[in-house]
Amino acid sequence: MTIALERPKKTKSAEIRERLGYPIIDTDVHTQEFQPAFLDYLEQVGGTAIAERFQEHLPGSSRSKWFQQSWEERRLYRTTRPPFWTRPTSDVLNLATISLPKLLHERLQEAGTDFAVVYPNLATMGPHIGYEEMRRAVCRAANTYHAEIFRPYSDRLTPIATIPMHTPEEAIEELEYAVKVLGLKAIQIPGHIRRPIPAFEKYGEEVANEAIWIDTFGLDSKYDYDPFWAKCVELKVVPTTHSSGMGWINRRSISNYQYNHIGHFAAAGEALCKSLFFGGVTHRFPTLKFAFLEGGSAWGASLYADLIWHWDTRNKDHLLENNNPDNINREELLEYFVRYGGELVHNRVEQLGSGLGFHGSNELITTDNPGNLDEFEVAGVKGPEDVRERFLKHFYFGTESDDTRVAHAFNRKANPYGDRIKAFLGSDSGHWDVPDITAVAANAYSMVERNIITEEDLQYFLSIHPLELYTSLNRDFFKGTAVEKAADEFLARKN
């Protein structure tokens, strides 16, 4: 029996693309591995035992811990509620599209998209596997599998290489293999590594697995990741991240996935972004840019404004001038308490201390032991214009085509210095929230039609920002692709 596979002649998204006159670049198209084929790759890389063990620990499957537990066990362990199926099932064409590179390549133009960066399913979760041997085998197998199956379609599709980051050495080894051997040119790193708090490891593995801290590779990291960032610059690849914050303290509902899901990508992205900024990574590597996928861009606009505000109100000079206990005129302070304190302070004014309440009674908080008062020092910030330099020019924010909060990124009246935050299209197509890839461009253009963003903003969102990001280190990133001419013209205008 042969099934007729009918397809629309021209979608609204394709019509919009024709009218725009510039390329649309989607930086986050999700795909799903064909399981039997991937397991062949994993067995070749890691052996039969690793392949079998991997199948027993697939996240989100019926073998997931939550699905196996009773409600009593879920309450006892506070097991995070995972999602029900996250793949589109109401339209077989869209379901098939996310697994078959040839079909995805063919349908991309129906979506009005000229070029897409592909984020495979296993590639986003592989670096978070706790067992080193399995983690490294899954990442190597995923990179090899995707490099090979997408190679014939490189004019419109490029898959990311997934890079494990538990140590800088591990990261560098896989990065070099992915770029030099497999020829991959886009990468993804995990946004964080869960590490046990050393003081609790003595209580055994079960406690250590829960008493954890989040290592974000910059500020206060366990390792110095500068050799890895340097290798990214050397190999001309831009680190991107697509990590989850589900299961964190305030995203640990045992019954409601939506509660856990809302905001979790943004939370994980913000943790990494602040770490890179305050840890001085964007100061020490002035040409290196980073992208955060699927969390939207509103948090980026908020963080940018917050950093400027914190500099203005808590820089070192401001603290010493306005918050230093040594500056208090005690005689004048006592006079106010005597004159206005009444019964509240009667016969107890001598117990006033510094006037800072319980906070000031802590003798450890003194000008002799303040910690580093210049918390912007490592970031190389001497003034608000440096915040702009270290943040705005380095960070890009993947945003879904129907996320109207992108208006915050392009609100030049509200953003410091009248800037645009570098939001760009990361559709997340292939997941439950974007079941139809052909709706992406139409969704994005509807924000212009509804006066949420301008036509100029839309071009930055769909084309200029992704071109800027991916050519920042590698001017040949789009060579041989459907957008090569547009990329060359963009680079010529920049020069």
**HEC string for the chain:** CCCCCCCCCCCHHHHHHHHHCCCCEEEEEEECCCHHHHHHHHHHHHCHHHHHHHHHCCCCCCCCHHHHCCHHHHHHHCCCCCCCCCCCCCCHHHHHHCCCHHHHHHHCHHHCCCEEEEEEHHHHHHHHCCCHHHHHHHHHHHHHHHHHHHHHHCCCEEEEEECCCCCHHHHHHHHHHHHHHCCCCEEEECCCEEEECHHHHHHCHHHHCCCEEEECCCCCCCCCCHHHHHHHHHHCCCEEECCCCCCCCCCCCCCCHHHHHCCHHHHHHHHHHHHHHHCCHHHHCCCCCEEECCCCCHHHHHHHHHHHHHHHHHCHHHHHHHCCHHHCCHHHHHHHHHHHHHHHCCCCHHHCCCCCHHHHHCCCCCCCCCCCCCCCCCCCCCCHHHHHHHHHCCEEEEECCCCCCHHHHCCCCCCHHHCCCCEEECCCECCCCCCCHHHHHHHHHHHHHCCCCCHHHHHHHHHHHHHHHHCCCCCCCCCCCCCHHHHHHHHHHHC
CATH number at 264 reads 3.20.20.140
Q: Which residue in 437, 444, 478 sits closest to 458, CA to CA? A: 444
Decide: 440 and 425 in contact? Cβ < 8 Å. Answer: yes
State phi, psi for 177 to the nearest 5 degrees: -65, -45
Tell me whether residue 319 is in a domain. Answer: no
The two three-digit tokens of residue 439, written as one number: 């709706």
Q: Tokens 């939550």, residue?
A: 66
Q: Using CA atoms, how far apart are residues 462 and 37, in angstroms rounded to an integer? A: 34
| Residue 296 banded pLDDT, cuts 50, 70, 90 | very high
Q: Using CA atoms, how far apart are residues 241 and 297, in angstroms rounded to an integer? A: 14
The string of pLDDT tens digits covering residues 76-127 is 989 999 888 777 778 888 889 989 999 999 999 888 999 999 999 888 889 9
The two three-digit tokens of residue 160, written as one number: 């990311």
Tell me whether residue 114 is in a domain. Answer: yes
Tell me whether residue 333 is in a domain. Answer: no
CA atoms within 13 A on the CB side of 444: 34
Out of 176-180, 211-215, 285-289, 316-320, least confident range: 316-320
The string of pLDDT tens digits covering residues 240-252 is 999 889 888 889 9
pLDDT of residue 61: 46
Rounded to 5°, angle at Cα 148 from 428 and 478: 60
Tell me whether residue 329 is in a domain. Answer: no
| Residue 1 banded pLDDT, cuts 50, 70, 90 | very low
| Residue 217 banded pLDDT, cuts 50, 70, 90 | very high
Tell me whether residue 326 is in a domain. Answer: no
Q: Using CA atoms, how far apart are residues 20 and 482, in angstroms rounded to an integer? A: 16
Tell me whether residue 403 is in a domain. Answer: yes
Q: Using CA atoms, how far apart are residues 295 and 272, in angstroms rounded to an integer? A: 12
Mean pLDDT value across residues 18-32: 95
Q: Quick one: what percent of the chain has pLDDT higher than 90?
A: 69
- The answer on pLDDT for 60 being more than 50 is no
- The answer on pLDDT for 316 being more than 60 is yes
What pairs with residue 193 in β-bridges?
A: 215
- Amino acid identity at 161: A
Decide: 44 and 469 in contact? Cβ < 8 Å. Answer: no
Burial code (b: 16+ CB inside 10 Å, e: under 16) for 79-89 equals bbbbeeebebe
Burial code (b: 16+ CB inside 10 Å, e: under 16) for 242-269 equals bbbbbebeebebbeebebbbebbbbbbb
The two three-digit tokens of residue 119, written as one number: 């984020």
* Dihedral sign computed on CA atoms, order 481, 482, 485, 489: negative
The string of pLDDT tens digits covering residues 347-394 is 888 888 777 776 554 454 555 666 678 999 999 999 999 999 999 999
Tell me whether residue 168 is in a domain. Answer: yes
Out of 171-185, 316-330, 407-421, least confident range: 316-330
Domain interval for residue 131: 23-313+385-494
Structure pTM?
Answer: 0.93
| Residue 6 banded pLDDT, cuts 50, 70, 90 | low
- Amino acid identity at 25: I
pLDDT of residue 121: 87
Decide: 424 and 399 in contact? Cβ < 8 Å. Answer: yes
Decide: 435 and 91 in contact? Cβ < 8 Å. Answer: yes
Quote the number of domains for the chain.
1
Tell me whether residue 380 is in a domain. Answer: no
How far the first Cα of the chain sits from its last, in Å, is 58
pLDDT of residue 360: 52
